[in-house]
Amino acid sequence: MDKTINITLKVWRQRGPKERGAFESYKLDGISTDSSFLEMLDILNEKLINEGKEPVVFDHDCREGICGMCSLYVNGHPHGPDDSITTCQLHMRRFKDGETITVEPWRSAGFPVIRDLMVDRTAFDKIIQAGGYTSINVGGAQDANAILIPKEAADEAMDSASCIGCGACVAACKNGSAMLFVSAKVSQLALLPQGRAEAARRAKAMTARMDELGFGNCTNTGACEAECPKNVSISNIARLNREFLKAKFRD
C-alpha cells in the first residue's frame, strides 16, 4: 500500500501583474508520498477545475530537472526544502502528514509576477542575448585535438554550464541580484579557449544588461549558491568580477 498524507496548501493567488495578490488555503487529502510536488499541484488543479474554480498557474516543462522552467518558493526555499534539486524533482515524501506547505512565486523586481506562481523571467533571455556570439573557424572540420584544454578547466566550465537559468539565485538573494546566473554564463565560455576571443566584450555586455534590467548588486552572502539546484559556485562571481574589471581597465 502506498503511504498517503493529508496536507494544507497555502498558495499565492494573483490574477495579473498589476493586481494585488493574496494567499489562499486548500486542503488536499490522500496525497501519495511517491508523487512529485508538481503532480500534487496537478491533483489540486484537477480538483479546482472539477469544482468550477480557476486552477493555479505555475511554470513547468521537462519535469526532470534540466530545463529550468519550474520555479516555486516552497516553505521558504526556492525549489523547496531539498538540496540540489529543482521543484519538479521534489517529492511529497519530504513533507509530513498534516503539514501546511507555503507556495510562493519568485519575488524580485526583475521577475514580475505574471499570474499566481508564474513569473516573467525573460530578463534572463535578454542577458543571454547581450552575451552575443562566439567566433569559430569555418571550412574544413578542425582536428579534435588542435585546441588543448586542461581537464580542470573543462571540468570547471562544465560545472558553470550546469546552470539551467531557473532564477533561484535571484529569488534567494536579499538584493535580487542575478550575479550567480550571469557569472555562470560568462564563466562557461571564459574558461575555455574557444570562448576567450569575445570574453571581455561578453563580460561587459552581459553585466551592463543585467544592471539595466534592474537586478541588484552582489553583497557576497552566498544565499544563491546554497539554494542553487545545480550547485553553481560563487567562485564564478569572483571570475565575472575579474573578467569585467580586467576588461574595463584594459579599455
Partner 1 sequence: MSWLLKSSIGRKFIMALSGCCLVLFLLFHMCMNVVSIISIEAYEAICGFLGTNWYAVLATGGLALLFIVHILYALSLTLKNKKARGNDSYAMSSSLSSVTWTSKNMFVLGVVVLVFLLLHLYDFWFKMMFAELFNLHDIVVLPEEVGGHMAMLFGSPVKVALYFIGIVALWLHLTHGVWSMFQSTGLNGRTWYPRLKCIGNIVATIICLGFLIVPIFFLAKHFLCGAC
Residues binding partner 1 (CB under 8 A):
10, 12, 21, 23, 73, 75-77, 81, 102, 104, 107-110, 156, 173-177, 179, 207-208, 210-211, 214-223, 225-227, 233-235, 237-246, 248
| Least distance between partner 1 and beta carbon 156 (Å) | 7
User: For residues 5 and 179, which CB has a smaller minimum distance to partner 1 in the complex?
Assistant: 179
176, 184 contact by CB (below 8 A): no
Closest CA to 74 of 41, 101, 96: 101
| Least distance between partner 1 and beta carbon 214 (Å) | 6
Alpha helices in 33-150 (DSSP H): 37-50, 122-131
| Least distance between partner 1 and beta carbon 177 (Å) | 7
User: For residues 16 and 81, which CB has a smaller minimum distance to partner 1 in the complex?
Assistant: 81
Beta bridge partners of 23: 12
Q: How far apart are CA 60 and CA 220, in angstroms?
A: 30
| Least distance between partner 1 and beta carbon 83 (Å) | 10
| Least distance between partner 1 and beta carbon 1 (Å) | 32
Distance of CA 242 to the CA centre of its chain: 24
User: For residues 67 and 114, which CB has a smaller minimum distance to partner 1 in the complex?
Assistant: 114
User: For residues 4 and 241, which CB has a smaller minimum distance to partner 1 in the complex?
Assistant: 241
- 11 phi, psi to nearest 5 deg: -110, 140
* 3-class DSSP state of 156: helix
User: For residues 65 and 106, which CB has a smaller minimum distance to partner 1 in the complex?
Assistant: 106
| Least distance between partner 1 and beta carbon 107 (Å) | 5
Grid cell, residue 189, equals 565560455
Q: How far apart are CA 1 and CA 17, in angstroms?
A: 44
Q: How far apart are CA 169 and CA 182, in angstroms?
A: 10
Grid cell, residue 218, equals 552582489
Closest CA to 184 of 203, 208, 211, 205: 203
User: For residues 72 and 164, which CB has a smaller minimum distance to partner 1 in the complex?
Assistant: 72
